[in-house]
Chains A and B, each alone.
Chain A
């Protein structure tokens, strides 16, 4: 889930510039919360944490529901490069597209090994946020993956991806 500040209510305009992302994020968070006793947020900074808390607060978890597995629900706040075009926040870096392509493929397939191997120096140079958190996912086995959102409407690569992992 990308920690996009435009998702916060204090940044709302009369027209929502991230309506599609908001809808995808809201649905995914509701799914995540369903049946969970609590959600662990992995966020790189305070802003990402606030976005996560807002999304969690606006979801309507059905805590009475049951799940086959009992482990934590985890919400990882991260996005790809913010240097994907000349209009992007970080202007264009030609390396951004290849970086994001690899990141997107790993997210879509639940390739934890590939995610853990992301070069943190390159990620920082490309203004990718939160990707260092994937290094802590070692040992996770992703059983199912679903991509709800995959776009870069403002020159920043966003994904909303649901993983179901083996316990």
Chain B
């Protein structure tokens, strides 16, 4: 299905890189490297240069930590979205927020996508997206409260739960007026899930793709990779790329990433093997 992400449309065979840009002092991977606004803008310039189609700007780390209320979150992201919009008129800007109040402000500043990592915790977020013609990412968290870690979570069937919840969320967004081609679903690896859950979601991602809704995966350097390989943050790129390849094979459309170039190469290689994408330049043996 053609994807419409705010001001940009993408054909149904396009895969997209969504680069993470943190406006946080405490995110797990970069530990505040782009907390300063100019550093964050440098990060945007870098990922655009690397070919990212989307930037995902977040003002609150996912894990528990110092409270950041809506006003503080707006302070962290809204004017920054405006700066990025001015500098990159055609770039798709996503904002990682679960709050409708924040969603409305950032859409006013030029955001195209609201990436709700917390599975509809704020029921008004769909309305914020609809009011502004923004796209919406509908994730599965198993009903987790924002910024909580999973603790002894169980599912009868984690993939069935992810499909049921994300599709229900997508249909709620549709009913609220978000365009069908602007709704994306995301199983949300590690959110409300232990490592075995995230591995199963990865292994069975094709079942989510089969729903017909475009699927976003956020795998980058997460704990399910770290626990699978017993590696700390900073040493998880290879594992992340292996998981990326499995999701590409299944037909994921959007990849939320820290490392744009290696992920783009992984996805392109898988798509080329599968015949979805032509080799860039083929002459070996064909001279």
Contact status A13-B281, CB under 8 Å: yes
Contact status B287-A154, CB under 8 Å: yes
- Name the prevailing secondary structure of the A interface residues: loop
Interface check A102, CB cutoff 8 A: no
Interface residues of A in 1-38 (CB under 8 A from B): 4-6, 11-18
> Whole-angstrom distance between the alpha carbons of A16 and B281 in the complex?
6
Interface check B66, CB cutoff 8 A: no
B132 CB to closest chain A CB (Å) equals 35
Interface check A156, CB cutoff 8 A: yes
Closest chain B residue to A16, Cβ basis: B281
Return the CB mask of B252-287 against A: 1 if under 8 Å, else 0.
000000000000000000000000011111110111
Contact status A89-B287, CB under 8 Å: yes
Closest chain B residue to A15, Cβ basis: B281
Q: Which chain B positions have C-beta within 8 A of A110?
A: none
Q: Which chain A positions have C-beta within 8 A of B283?
A: 6, 17-18, 154
Interface check A82, CB cutoff 8 A: yes
Of the candidates A11, A15, A82, which one forms a contact with B280 in the assembled complex, judged by CB atoms under 8 Å apart?
A15
Please tell me the number of chain A residues within 8 Å of chain B, measured between CB atoms. Answer: 16
Contact status A13-B278, CB under 8 Å: yes
> Whole-angstrom distance between the alpha carbons of A87 and B276 in the complex?
30
Of the candidates A4, A13, A89, A155, which one forms a contact with B282 in the assembled complex, judged by CB atoms under 8 Å apart?
A13
Closest chain B residue to A5, Cβ basis: B286
B281 CB to closest chain A CB (Å) equals 4
Of the candidates B278, B281, B285, which one forms a contact with A89 in the assembled complex, judged by CB atoms under 8 Å apart?
B285
A13 CB to closest chain B CB (Å) equals 4
Interface residues of B (CB under 8 A from A): 277-283, 285-287
A-B contacts besides A6-B286, A14-B280, 4 pairs, CB < 8 Å: A5-B285, A6-B282, A15-B280, A89-B287
Closest 7 CB pairs of A and B: A154-B287, A6-B286, A5-B286, A17-B283, A13-B282, A15-B281, A13-B279
Cross-chain pairs A/B with CB under 8 angstroms, 28 sampled: A4-B286, A5-B285, A5-B286, A5-B287, A6-B283, A6-B286, A6-B287, A11-B282, A11-B286, A12-B282, A13-B279, A13-B280, A13-B281, A13-B282, A14-B277, A14-B279, A14-B281, A15-B281, A16-B281, A17-B281, A17-B282, A18-B283, A82-B287, A89-B285, A154-B283, A154-B287, A155-B287, A156-B287
